[in-house]
Amino acid sequence: MKIALASDHAAFELKAELAAWLAEQGHEVADLGTNSADSVDYPDYGYKLAEHVAAGNSERGIALCGSGIGISIAANRHPAIRCALVSEPVSAGFSRTHNDANVIALGARLIGIEMAKACVTAFLTAPFAGDRHVRRVEKLSQLPQDA
């Protein structure tokens, strides 16, 4: 699978570890930066990842920052992106089965490498359940109508 990763300075080490691990698993990895501890703005990398995945350059994306919150907000500004902030594998799996998430966000200051790997594994292996979830997922890319 083609997987893109992007992070800010707070998560560049976790991103590098995950990128190496994913490559060892046989995935094609696109590292969209950043690549140092020099301070950068997470929205820039969230937007870059969102554009990359939305354009079809990678099937899935992994967004990382200190908490995962800021970069997930940035990625979700793109209407074709469904980015779920996760911190354990159950929610990572549900992000796929129920929400057809194409990006997950992780907080490097909140989880370690083994939990991050467990989340990524669940995200990459869980299939979208379809059925009643299709209608709901389609609404995620539309402006809200009167409820």
- Which DSSP state fits 98? T
- Tens-place pLDDT, residues 21-40: 999 999 999 999 999 999 99
Quick count: other Cβ atoms within 10 Å of Cβ 73?
Answer: 17
- Tens-place pLDDT, residues 60-71: 999 999 999 999
Question: Is the separation of the CB atoms in 41 and 66 below 8 Å?
Answer: no
If you average pLDDT over residues 95-110, what whole number do you get?
96
- Tens-place pLDDT, residues 73-86: 999 999 999 999 99
* pLDDT for res 140: 81
How high is the mean pLDDT of the chain? 95
Number of separate domains in the chain: 1
Give residue 40's domain range. Answer: 2-139
Q: How far is Cα 104 from Cα 56, in angstroms, rounded to an integer?
A: 16
Q: Kindly indicate the confidence band of residue 147, based on its pLDDT and cuts at 50, 70 and 90.
A: low
* pLDDT for res 117: 98
Tokens matching residue 41: 């703005």
| Three-state DSSP class for residue 67 | coil
Q: Does the structure show a pLDDT above 70 at 113?
A: yes
Residue 100 lies in a domain: yes
Residue 147 lies in a domain: no
Residue 144 lies in a domain: no
Residue 146 lies in a domain: no
Q: Is 116 exposed, middle or buried (0-12, 13-18, 19+ CB in 10 A)?
A: buried
Q: Positive or negative, the Cα torsion across 13, 113, 24, 1?
A: negative
**CATH number, position 125:** 3.40.1400.10
Question: Is the separation of the CB atoms in 42 and 70 below 8 Å?
Answer: yes
Annotated catalytic sites, by residue? Answer: 65, 98
